[in-house]
Amino acid sequence: MKWAFVVCAMVALSECLVQVPLERGQTARELLEEQGLWEEYKLKYPYNPMAKFDERFAVGTQPTTNDANMAYYGIISIGTPPQNFKVVFDTGSSNLWVPSVYCSSPACNNHAKFDPAASSTYRQDGTPVNIRYGTGSMTGILGYDTVTVGGIAVKNQIFGLSKTEATYMQFMRTDGILGLAYPSISVAGATPLFDNMMKQGLVNEDLFSVYLNAHKGSVVIFGGVDPNHYIAPITWIPLSSERFWQITMDSVSVNGQVVACNGGCQAIVDTGTSLVIGPQSDIDTINRLVGEIGEMTVNCDEIPQMPDVTFHIQGHEFTLPSTAYIRQTKHYGCLTGFDRGGHSEWILGDVFLRHFYSIYSRAQNMVGLAKAR
């Protein structure tokens, strides 16, 4: 299968949209459920969706999160000749890193490993890097090489080569993470890949966009948008913080009644989080109103009668029907896509982003949202 292609409006490279298809593979949770290990796993490695946004976990580094439901990944290559890796395109972090031959952790042994000695364009930096997780960490060193994304080569891109990785990552389909947030939160001051794309003139516009689909056709597009993936208009929302893709949300309503985020709250638009995350009391209220009968569990037969959940942002309504926020599983029945984060901030993850095409403008420091096709 062709895994990367470029759509060109003109012959000039600068007029191209760089597109990387995304696959929705089996999640770590689904794999663990099949093996009967999920209950044990979630106790040993608690899911902390807010970890990568909470400076208390950082100790000078940028945390990322243990997300057993993470499903979307794309393929990039690093080095000359190219070495391929499956990575999460994560708008909630800023570093690019992959496993390396220096790593002997169980999580590295069942994933692709970058070999610097096999690349003629690799240049070592050697700076230690420690990207902390809520339940562990990735430690390693920094290096430089050519990173090819969607057929476009980004030269002298700094990235992390892991030496150790958190235990839970051995269950994940992806090899590493490609961060797409702002440079200010990048560990060790490493320049994010999209910043180098802009500096090297590899994109027509200083923005990228993401289309997520529950089945096939998901894609991240660097340098523009694809009208085939959304229904106009696009609602442009200014950022409230230029670290993450953070916006101000007005409220959340069910059946026309405000039930959460009353008076306004902060929300982070994050492709690297699978669910919609919010404060415990707000999430408990929403789950109760949509028909929760157990922890995030609902009656599958009642999905058609479940209410819409509407997110009010900048005076606009972004509504999720029950078919968008309920997930049917083989082992646990039907689960809502709303989970507790324990903080005041919200995360609008893949449950939200499958329903709304998202655009991330570095030129205007805004997020664009439009109904996905």
Q: Evaluate if residue 61 carries a pLDDT over 50.
A: no
**Rounded mean pLDDT, 315-323:** 97
Instruction: Examine the pLDDT at 51 and tell me if it is beyond 90.
Output: no
Mean pLDDT for 245-271 is 96
- Is 264's pLDDT higher than 60? yes
Q: Which residue has the tokens 């442009």?
A: 236
> Hey, what domains does the chain have and what are their CATH numbers?
18-202 (2.40.70.10), 226-372 (2.40.70.10)
Nearest partner of 7 among 198, 201, 221, 212, judged by Cα: 221
Annotated catalytic, 339? no
Query: How much is the pLDDT for 306?
Result: 97
| Residue 220, CA distances (Å) to 90, 102, 268 in order | 11, 30, 18
Query: Among 32-41, 181-190, 236-245, which stretch is predicted with the lowest mean pLDDT?
Result: 32-41
Res. 253: pLDDT tops 80:
yes
Q: Which of 31-45, 234-248, 303-317 has the lowest mean pLDDT?
A: 31-45
pLDDT computed for residue 55 by the predictor: 54
Token pair belonging to 144:
């430089």
According to the model, what pLDDT value does residue 49 have? 65
Q: What pLDDT does residue 64 have?
A: 36
- What is d(CA 193, CA 183) in angstroms, rounded to the nearest whole number? 10
The mean pLDDT of the chain is: 87
Which pTM does this prediction carry? 0.89
Determine the pLDDT at residue 63. 35
Q: Which of 145, 195, 250, 270 is catalytic?
A: 270
pLDDT of residue 68: 55
Burial tier of 304 (Cβ tally within 10 Å: 0-12, 13-18, 19+): exposed
Alpha helices in 291-340 (DSSP H): 322-325
Nearest to 53 by CA among 182, 152, 194, 188: 182
Residue 331, pLDDT above cutoff 90 = no
> Is 90 annotated as catalytic?
yes
pLDDT tens digits along 336-370:
999 998 678 999 999 999 999 999 999 999 999 99
User: Does the pLDDT at position 209 exceed 90?
Assistant: yes
Q: What is the pLDDT of residue 38?
A: 72
Residue of higher predicted confidence among 58 and 105: 105
